[in-house]
A and B are shown apart, each in its own frame.
Chain A
Amino acid sequence: MTQVPAQKIGVGIVISFYGVMAAVGYFFSWIFDINPLVLRESSNSLWFRMLIGGGFGIGVVLVSALFTHKFYWAKRLSETLRNTLGRRNFVEIFFFALASGLGEEILFRGTLQQLLTMVLFDGVAANIFGVVVAAVIFGVLHTGPERAVFFPWTIFAIVVGALLGLLYWWTGDLVAPVTAHFTINFFNLHLICNRDAID
């Protein structure tokens, strides 16, 4: 039997939360005079970057669906997240995915990753340091009350965060990471929240 969530989190609260996250990112970017959206001038077209991001996102969604199908820990995590989030419609999921994609990428990739590359190291070492540390901080924040259940989510977020960081480094701006993040959250939220409807 599925638990009924105590109180559903509304779209307004989610958008406000990620809005604050983006504002924190922009605040730090303003202090350090950096542009969180652009790391450097990109040589690839906008469509190419969106395609790369979308393709990467679809790949991650397929891997997570496979894990949920094959492994008990992934199934348990999916059920726990579904109990927390409750059933969601298309519009809610769209705005959740868009807000989280933009807010998290502006803060963690656009701001934190750039900041981390600024001081301690030079060249490739600085970029690797930025990607890894930003991914670890991003992953650690993907946690929940039941440590054993949410631990795979943390590891998953660290790995995906590092790959999104590499995408940001490679493509030169936030278009690919935001598209990838939106795609992952949009399809995974559908699979998590409305899975029994899909089954």
Chain B
Amino acid sequence: MINEITQYPLGIFTTVQPILFLWVVAISFFITISFVALVSKDRTWQWLCVIGVLFFICTLVISLIVSSAFVGISVMDFEFIWVQPSS
């Protein structure tokens, strides 16, 4: 029988700037509602919700990267480590 060594990745947030992070969330929210207004023509509210959520996630990620670059402070950092469970 083969003795398998199972390892799994674990993501750990090493740095979080709560105010900066919330700021990016707030601005992404406003950009999202503007975008949804722009693409709202002939779309049902269900479609608009899906578009809104997807656009919000994309904007949030891009905004985090851009604002980190602008401000020079890492808004949010996380690292992966490999964990081997004890048998």
Number of residues in A with C-beta < 8 Å to the partner?
16
Looking at the assembled complex, report how far the CB atom of A6 sits from the nearest CB atom of chain B, in whole angstroms: 17
Q: Are B27 and A140 in contact (CB under 8 A)?
A: no
Given contacts A119-B20, A120-B70, contact A143 B26 (CB under 8 A): no
Counting contact residues on chain B (CB < 8 A from A), the size range is 10 to 19
Q: Are B33 and A141 in contact (CB under 8 A)?
A: yes
Listed stretches B6-14, B34-42, B52-60, B78-86; interface member: B34-42
For A143, the chain B residues whose CB sits under 8 A away are 37-38, 40
Name the contact of B30 in the complex, choosing from A32, A120, A137 (C-beta under 8 A).
A137
In the complex, A116 has a CB within 8 A of chain B: yes
Q: Are B37 and A141 in contact (CB under 8 A)?
A: yes
Looking at the assembled complex, report how far the CB atom of B24 sits from the nearest CB atom of chain A, in whole angstroms: 8
In Å, the complex CA distance between A120 and B27 comes to 12
In the complex, A97 has a CB within 8 A of chain B: no
For A136, the chain B residues whose CB sits under 8 A away are 34
In the complex, A112 has a CB within 8 A of chain B: yes
Since A115-B23, A137-B34 are in contact, a sample of 4 more A-B pairs with Cβ atoms closer than 8 Å, ordered by chain A residue number, is A115-B27, A118-B23, A141-B33, A145-B41
Residues on B facing A (Cβ under 8 Å):
19-20, 22-23, 26-27, 30-31, 33-34, 37-38, 40-42, 67, 70-71
